[in-house]
Amino acid sequence: MKFSIIFQLLLSSLLFFHNCHQCQATKRYRFELREAKYRRLCRSKKILTVNGKFPGPTISAHRGDTVIVDVINNGNYNVTIHWHGAPMNRYPWTDGPEYITQCPIPPGGKFKQRIILGDEEGTIWWHAHSNWTRATVHGAFIIYPTLGTIYPFPKPHAQLPIILGEWWKVDIQTLYYATVRTGGDPNVSDSFLINGQPGDLYPCSKQDTFKLKVVQGKTYLLRIINAVMQNLMFFGVANHKLTVVGSDGSYTKPFTSNYIAISPGQTIDVLLEANQTPKRYYMAARVYERTLSVSIDNTTTTAIIQYDSLDDSTPPLLPILPNSSDLNASIRFTNSLRSLASKDHPVKVPLKITKRLFYTLSINTLVCQEEDGNTCQGPNNTRLAASVNNISFVNPNISILEAYYHNMINGNFMTNFPDKPPKMFNYTAPFLPIKLELPKRGTKVKVLDYNETVELTFQGTSVVDGADHPMHLHGYSFYVVGSGLGNFDKDKDPFNYNLVDPPFQNTIAVPYKGWTTIRFRANNPGVWFMHCHVDRHLTWGMETVFIVTNGKTPESRILPPPPDMPPC
Ligand SMILES: *[C@@H]1O[C@H](CO)[C@@H](O)[C@H](O)[C@H]1NC(C)=O
Ligand SMILES: *[C@@H]1O[C@H](CO)[C@@H](O)[C@H](O)[C@H]1NC(C)=O
Ligand SMILES: *[C@@H]1O[C@H](CO)[C@@H](O)[C@H](O)[C@H]1NC(C)=O
Ligand SMILES: *[C@@H]1O[C@H](CO)[C@@H](O)[C@H](O)[C@H]1NC(C)=O
Ligand SMILES: *[C@@H]1O[C@H](CO)[C@@H](O)[C@H](O)[C@H]1NC(C)=O
Ligand SMILES: *[C@@H]1O[C@H](CO)[C@@H](O)[C@H](O)[C@H]1NC(C)=O
Ligand SMILES: *[C@@H]1O[C@H](CO)[C@@H](O)[C@H](O)[C@H]1NC(C)=O
Ligand SMILES: *[C@@H]1O[C@H](CO)[C@@H](O)[C@H](O)[C@H]1NC(C)=O
Ligand SMILES: *[C@@H]1O[C@H](CO)[C@@H](O)[C@H](O)[C@H]1NC(C)=O
Ligand SMILES: *[C@@H]1O[C@H](CO)[C@@H](O)[C@H](O)[C@H]1NC(C)=O
Ligand SMILES: *[C@@H]1O[C@H](CO)[C@@H](O)[C@H](O)[C@H]1NC(C)=O
Ligand SMILES: [Cu+2]
């Protein structure tokens, strides 16, 4: 009798936690942007940080929580912060991209940013979204399962973010303005970083090496984030297999691999079992770059995994990573990602499509102008540019969201972004006529009706040169239903789409001279940026904006703006 009451109480409390709609919490953080001195590669420099930390503080929350961050700019320049992977349902106001959803926060200014989470579980991140300030202004954003629910894999002994970063000896703003001024490729970086440290393969960096102590037999959850500016990366751990369990805040079917391929903007969650002889092992990352005409930083960043019971003297082993131009290795990994597609984590891929879009992604060149002093450092004395459907995006002077919301579209942007490229050509042919290289420049957006089901095929091209483009969409995650090399064939390729367990990403690398198709339901009204997450391509114009209109019900309308929007 007593037992059964206790049992029922236990059961109902379990059920209560399981259906825990009320236990969504609001968490608060304070982010102060300020300069701090950091010494790396034998040299000190001042960098812009959040709270003096590099990488910045980790935000953690449970699924469905709301997080409020008081952002205070005590740095020297305009800046904005973006919550990469948070859907911000109906609330684009504090999403962050400068001149898209807000004007920047000026030095001395403040902005209270509300972050609205949805069904994400796993790892997302946050970063600055104004010019190249994100190089040092970024951090992890961990989303735990709702209280009372569990991971769809055995609970790890411990977990930690592994943030891949990129470091230049010069100031990042100097690099940005030099790149914009000369029109050429930016100088390659001086090192890559793991959790802010280059690792001991670089000069003066023995102390600047991240170390992870592990206990034999235990399993660790590594939440790997690619915060690198300009490159896709390979990552691995010597002698250890990695079990991939999530990506971009969504669980995946577990699979094991000796390495991962991760593009800027993406996160990959892996389980690492400390099951090797107690020694020291390197985890390491280096560039994946298929475009052979660009220079790369070919250095390797490392961190050390050290079993607890051990002599410190053995030199660590390096993992064998794929060759830095190994397109196949990159594709093989990306194509292994599958949604978990379980009862608790179902797949809701749209099956009936109401809007089909086909977007080409190109590197371009612009004619060098008189005001450039007639010397530009792009190929053949041009300025490099980039485009989507041959439109190289130009930032407006006031934010698109504010212009849209306050009905000031005219003169600020146009709504005629094309659904397909203006010209058909053999997109991925090895040689293309030079006259295809010149893009149009403009501030054009695509309007989507609320609740439309969108299928968008990205087609990489070989205009100027092919490249891998990690495309990121704000406000949504999307299902990646297919990809391939060469030109997309609309009659054949759709038959091979995965509509059963496609991965649910917010960033996906469109392969070098290849294509990728994504699907999503446009059920989040607002103004949403979509761009290549390679920062030089973003700076050159490889981006556009979706405006998703309000629906008919009050619950499908944009919420009103906060009172403290930074002024334009
Ligand atoms: C970013 O750079 C552009 C020039 O390329 C400049 O107009 C803009 O104000 C800069 N933004 C910030 C936040 O500094
Ligand atoms: C880029 O590299 C060149 C050659 O090493 C150097 O002269 C130039 O100052 C560098 N530019 C920046 C912005 O660091
Ligand atoms: C990396 O590049 C440098 C300079 O281009 C070259 O000297 C070096 O051999 C390269 N290292 C590797 C491992 O490819
Ligand atoms: C990568 O592979 C290519 C082709 O197999 C080869 O030419 C190149 O030397 C390799 N590079 C490295 C760094 O191993
Ligand atoms: C890459 O994969 C393609 C098709 O699967 C194959 O033909 C090619 O030989 C592979 N290349 C390398 C370098 O492995
Ligand atoms: C922004 O303002 C400048 C100066 O008034 C003007 O030249 C430029 O065309 C404007 N840009 C856009 C996209 O409207
Ligand atoms: C496109 O270019 C590739 C590579 O040169 C060639 O194999 C293919 O036949 C071309 N396709 C068309 C439709 O011309
Ligand atoms: C892009 O537009 C420009 C200007 O109209 C044109 O010269 C160029 O050929 C177009 N390129 C492509 C790939 O459509
Ligand atoms: C959106 O479309 C779905 C599927 O057609 C439908 O079930 C739902 O009611 C629609 N939502 C709204 C708000 O129109
Ligand atoms: C530069 O000029 C050469 C010679 O005209 C041409 O073959 C090459 O394609 C040009 N490169 C670019 C990126 O336009
Ligand atoms: C900072 O942002 C304000 C508002 O958009 C703008 O007027 C100003 O030019 C920006 N300053 C810099 C250095 O980019
Ligand atoms: Cu790109």
Total-model pTM:
0.94
Do 167 and 127 reside in the same domain of the chain?
no
Query: Is the CB of 178 inside a 6 Å radius of any atom of ligand 2?
Result: yes
Q: Tens digit of pLDDT for each residue in 403-433? A: 999 999 889 999 999 999 999 999 999 999 9
Ligand 6 contacts (CB < 6 A) are: 394, 396-397, 443
pLDDT band at 17 (very low <50, low <70, confident <90, very high): very low
Query: Is the CB of 380 inside a 6 Å radius of any atom of ligand 10?
Result: yes
Do 311 and 203 reside in the same domain of the chain?
yes
DSSP per residue, 72-121:
EE-SSS-B-EEEET---TT-GGGS--BTTTBPPBPTT-EEEEEEE--S--
Do 359 and 506 reside in the same domain of the chain?
yes
- Specify the pLDDT at position 329: 98
Do 416 and 480 reside in the same domain of the chain?
yes
- Specify the pLDDT at position 23: 64
Residue 22 falls in which region: left (phi positive, over 0), alpha (psi -120 to 50) or beta? alpha
Give the domain range for residue 405.
355-556
Q: Closest ligand 11 atom to the C-alpha of 567?
A: 4
Do 389 and 288 reside in the same domain of the chain?
no
CATH number at residue 76: 2.60.40.420
> What total of structural domains would you count in the chain?
3
Do 209 and 313 reside in the same domain of the chain?
yes
- Mode of pairing for the β-strands spanning 211-214 and 301-307: parallel
Last residue of some domain: 144, 170, 202?
144
Give the chain's length: 568
Q: Estimate to the nearest angstrom the gap between the alpha carbon of 231 and the chain centroid.
A: 12
Residue 7 falls inside a structural domain: yes
Residue 433 falls inside a structural domain: yes
Residue 342 falls inside a structural domain: no
Do 316 and 434 reside in the same domain of the chain?
no
Protein residues within 5 Å, CB atom, of ion ligand 12 = 469, 532, 534, 537
Do 62 and 137 reside in the same domain of the chain?
yes
Question: Ligand 1 atom 14: the closest Cα is on which residue?
Answer: 78
Residue 302 falls inside a structural domain: yes
Q: How far is the CA of 512 from the centre of ligand 12 (A)?
A: 10
- Specify the pLDDT at position 1: 35
Do 423 and 465 reside in the same domain of the chain?
yes
Last residue of some domain: 272, 302, 334?
334
Question: Ligand 11 atom 9: the closest Cα is on which residue?
Answer: 78
Which residues are bridge partners to 43 per DSSP?
A: 40
pLDDT band at 310 (very low <50, low <70, confident <90, very high): low
Q: What Rg do the C-alpha atoms of the chain give, in angstroms?
A: 23
Dihedral angle computed from the Cα positions of residues 223, 227, 230 and 232, in that order, rounded to the nearest 10 degrees: 0
Do 85 and 166 reside in the same domain of the chain?
no
Residue 149 falls inside a structural domain: no
Query: Is the CB of 549 inside a 6 Å radius of any atom of ligand 9?
Result: no
Residue 563 falls inside a structural domain: no
Query: Is the CB of 298 inside a 6 Å radius of any atom of ligand 4?
Result: no
Residue 405 falls inside a structural domain: yes
Do 130 and 191 reside in the same domain of the chain?
no
% of the chain residues with pLDDT over 90: 91
Last residue of some domain: 87, 115, 144?
144
Residue 35 falls inside a structural domain: yes
Do 371 and 476 reside in the same domain of the chain?
yes
Determine how many CB atoms are found less than 10 A away from the CB of residue 407: 7
Question: Is residue 309 scored above 90 in pLDDT?
Answer: no
